Amino acid sequence: MDSTKEKNGNYKDDLLLRMGLNDNKAGMEGLDKEKINKIIMEATKGSRFYGNELKKEKQVNQRIENMMQQKAQITSQQLRKAQLQVDRFAMELEQSRDLNNTIVHIDMDAFYAAVEMRDNPELKDKPIAVGSSSMLSTSNYHARRFGVRAAMPGFIAKRLCPQLIIVPSNFDKYRAVSKEVKEILADYDPNFMAMSLDEAYLNITKHLQERQNWPEDKRRYFIKTGHSLENGMERGKA
């Protein structure tokens, strides 16, 4: 009986870790995690989302238990052998490291929300998220102050922030904007690695070498937009 209660209590704690506030994101510093987690747990109780998350957590715990059982069967001799193999592999990797490349990681901030605010400036000073009541893809910084973030069901986000505006996703539009950005990235590394619509890795080593001999007027370029053309202006990009 006690062990069952303890197990259920552990599941509840693990579930809180899974469903509770993850503030490891820009714009979510200093939030009241205890208050937000209480709202999240109260909003999800009895929902299909809660049941699914509980099921996932039990599956994870079962996999961990299976792995721990397998670990218990490993002998000290096998551990030593594996450690030597890992050490040897790490040494080979260290000897082959090339630190002469400059790699840049680009992750566009709140990308979907930023596109929506660009197209509808009235949203800029309001808490918004992109997605649906089932799941959000992202949120702007105003919404993040309430604990609203990506990978959170919209119905929970509404409990955290009743005035939240949820904008339906428009991936055709996001792909079009992403294409524009990637055309710029290609100027710096034609072989850049796109990880998603809003994330990429660039090797700018060659660009930096070539740039050293560029004249000053080549070190910057201008993007013409509909808005800037109307005002007779060009927006510079360094």
User: Do 151 and 132 touch, CB atoms closer than 8 A?
Assistant: no
Percent of the chain with pLDDT over 90: 60
Residues whose CB falls within 8 Å of the CB of residue 222, separated by 6 or more in sequence, listed in order: 234, 235, 236, 237
Dump pLDDT digits (tens) for 128-170.
Answer: 999 999 999 999 999 999 999 998 999 999 999 999 999 999 9
pLDDT value, residue 214: 86
CATH class of 103-107+172-218: alpha beta
Cα separation, 187 vs 66, in Å, equals 49
pLDDT of residue 7 exceeding 80? no
pLDDT value, residue 14: 61
Percent of the chain with pLDDT over 70: 84
Residue 218 token pair? 């080549």
Q: Where are the domains of the chain?
A: 46-96, 103-107+172-218, 111-169
**Hey, what long-range contacts does 184-192 have (CB within 8 A, 24 or more apart)?**
184/237, 185/106, 188/104
Angle between helix 2-19 and helix 33-44 axes, rounded to 10 deg: 110
The closest alpha carbon to 106, from 238, 204, 200, belongs to 200
Beta bridge partners of 165: 128
Dump pLDDT digits (tens) for 14-32.
Answer: 666 566 677 777 888 888 8
Return the higher-pLDDT residue of 219 and 169. Answer: 169
Q: What topology does CATH give the domain 111-169?
A: MutS, DNA mismatch repair protein, domain I (3.40.1170)
Q: What is the mean pLDDT of the chain?
A: 85
Cα separation, 9 vs 188, in Å, equals 53
pLDDT value, residue 29: 86
Please determine whether the domains at 103-107+172-218 and 111-169 fall in the same fold group of CATH.
Answer: no
Q: Which residues are catalytic?
A: 199
- As a whole number, mean pLDDT of residues 60-74 equals 93
Return the higher-pLDDT residue of 173 and 229. Answer: 173
